[in-house]
Amino acid sequence: MLKTTYLAALINQKTVLLLNSILEQEKVQNYLEGLNEPQRLAVENINGASLIIAGAGSGKTRVLTYRITHLLKNGVKPGSVLALTFTNKAAKEMKSRISEMVGPNTARYLWMGTFHAIFARILRTESETLGYPSNFTIYDSSDSKSLIKSIIKDLKLDDKTYKTNVVAGRISAAKNNLVSSEMYATLPETVEYDQSIKMPYITTIYKEYTKRCFLAGAMDFDDLLMKTNVLFRNHPEILDKYQRIFSYILVDEYQDTNHSQYMIIKKLAAKHNNICVVGDDAQSIYSFRGARIENILNFQKDYPDHKVFKLEQNYRSTQTIVDAANSIIAKNKRQIRKNVFSEKEVGTLIKVMSAITDNEEGYLVSNEIIDTRMREHFMFSDYAILYRTNAQSRIFEEALRKRNIPYRIYGGLSFYQRKEIKDLLAYFRMVINPKDNEAFKRVINYPARGIGQTSLTKLEQFASENNICIWEFATNIPLLLGEFNKGTAAKIHEFTRLIEVFREKLELLSAFELATEIATGTEIMKDLYQDQTPEGVSRYENIQELLNGIQEFSISAKEEGTPMQLNNYMEDVALLTDQDS
């Protein structure tokens, strides 16, 4: 009787699994049925150059996802598909949807990610060609600004004239336009502009910044694009290799690409010409970051044999909202014409209020919330206030507090930019790439080990004068004893030995195991735990949260069969964009 029951249970289980499999197959086979006509055409026409103009709320992500699925269903190998997005979140969401359609074992081989993530991956593979180590550090904006600040100080320039943010912006703009530090000094327009803003030595700062990044085995975010361009320009055999790999290229938010991104895409697509870009010229908002709307407007000139697909049905907004947007967009001088429409209800009219002062604006907005909440029985969570600059938040906060309206501000300090997090991440960076000067300077005396600013300045100056990284100087005992007294030299040696001990475990331990060892072995956890002020407790909890995140990364990587070492985790963190946060 027991055997019969057991067999029946097994048969039932197999039947359920079989039915689930059939249902999944049906779902996959019928994925095109949920698309409207323009969406379906955009998905099915997979060969040649395609421009998909996607109005707001028109199902752009669905079309991109289904188009990639359609490629795979038509025999295209996943490893030959390159899909570029602007945020890690968008890439993960798309990959997850594709996994559901074609299975995780197929989806995992897609080249899908942000521009910076994909090209960092290529640069790590080809790094020796450019003279960089494969474990090069990726500097975020705060690292770059810290280095620029040091250079301004070392060159004895006035930091009130040479403002770090302005200099960083000039260097970033140059890189995004593929202007190297050598070229920068030869271009009359850049030299004249720098003189007009009373910063003639930006060219000197840029050269020194480039040199120090190279010595530290580091690239900033702009370098990930610029160095890829240099790699493809100077090494046609490497360009040919990746042109052969990528048979199909898809680019999201094409209206937000800059010149550097545009050039990489153009080069990679030149062999097969199977390029699909998705975007909307009316949603281009990043020109202040170097985005060129011309890239999408000129697509039809770049690829004469192109096809255009317009996704014009808005599934998100009421017709009133769509009409208002259309009326504004119609005034654009250069545009790709489209007729966005909605089949949703007409919706309530848009209310426009004018205020004479910013204080009055805060008062009007808070009053409107109170009035409509009472009248319509809304929740406070039904409201959102959008403002253009962070400075405007103060007025709204004051107005909301006066009316006892609870609120939460988004877009504050990023978790990964908090001091305690940056400190521990700097230790991780040192363990992965000890040449990283910015990480070295940040942690050599944290927690305090008796190495003061004078000693650090001496280390930095000696390294700079001798064209070596600080680590090379700090690990050379004879050099140390020649420049420092025995006590200071011993402390510096003790620090470098601590880093070496962790480095020996880099390939042996998972990201979580090694991160935990570093957090405790450096006594960062002890230092934070001893501070029992509310701020100290919060900092300690933040470190715990970081370690929890690393543990999740290690578990997830193990389950997926992907690398789970600390350098793999740090790659993810380094490539987080401000759009993600």
How far is Cα 226 from Cα 179, in angstroms, rounded to an integer? 9
Q: Residue 14 has what pLDDT? A: 54
Where does CATH 1.10.486.10 sit in the chain?
Answer: 415-574
How far is Cα 91 from Cα 46, in angstroms, rounded to an integer? 20
Q: Residue 536 has what pLDDT? A: 83
Buried b (16+ CB within 10 A) or exposed e, 246-281: bbbbbbbbbbbbbbbbbbbbebbbeebebbbbbbbb
Q: Residue 572 has what pLDDT? A: 83
How far is Cα 415 from Cα 438, in angstroms, rounded to an integer? 19
Which segments of the chain have a pLDDT < 70? 1-29, 411-413, 577-581
Q: Residue 320 has what pLDDT? A: 94
Where does CATH 3.40.50.300 sit in the chain?
Answer: 35-120+235-313
Structure tokens belonging to residue 573: 């963190």
For 515-531, write each residue's pLDDT tens digit: 999 999 999 999 898 88
What's the CATH code, domain 35-120+235-313?
3.40.50.300
Residues 6+ apart with CB under 8 A from 457: none
State the chain's maximal CA–CA distance in angstroms.
94
Q: Residue 387 has what pLDDT? A: 86
Structure tokens belonging to residue 136: 């090069």
Amino acid at 23: L
Where does CATH 1.10.10 sit in the chain?
Answer: 137-216
Pick the CATH number of 137-216 from 1.10.10, 2.10.260, 1.20.930, 3.40.50: 1.10.10
**SS3 string of 307-320?**
EEEEECEECCCCHH
**HSE value, Cβ hemisphere, 13 Å, CA-based, for 413:** 9
CA 267 from chain centre, in angstroms, equals: 23
How many other C-beta atoms are found inside a 10 Å radius of the C-beta of residue 235?
A: 14
Q: Residue 2 has what pLDDT? A: 47
Amino acid at 332: N
How far is Cα 262 from Cα 115, in angstroms, rounded to an integer? 11
For 290-303, write each residue's pLDDT tens digit: 788 888 999 989 99
How far is Cα 167 from Cα 339, in angstroms, rounded to an integer? 43
Q: How far is the CA of 126 from the CAs of 133, 135, 152, 309, in angstroms?
A: 9, 11, 32, 37
How far is Cα 299 from Cα 304, in angstroms, rounded to an integer? 8
Instruction: Give the CATH fold of the 415-574 domain.
Output: PCRA; domain 4 (1.10.486)
How far is Cα 76 from Cα 81, in angstroms, rounded to an integer? 8
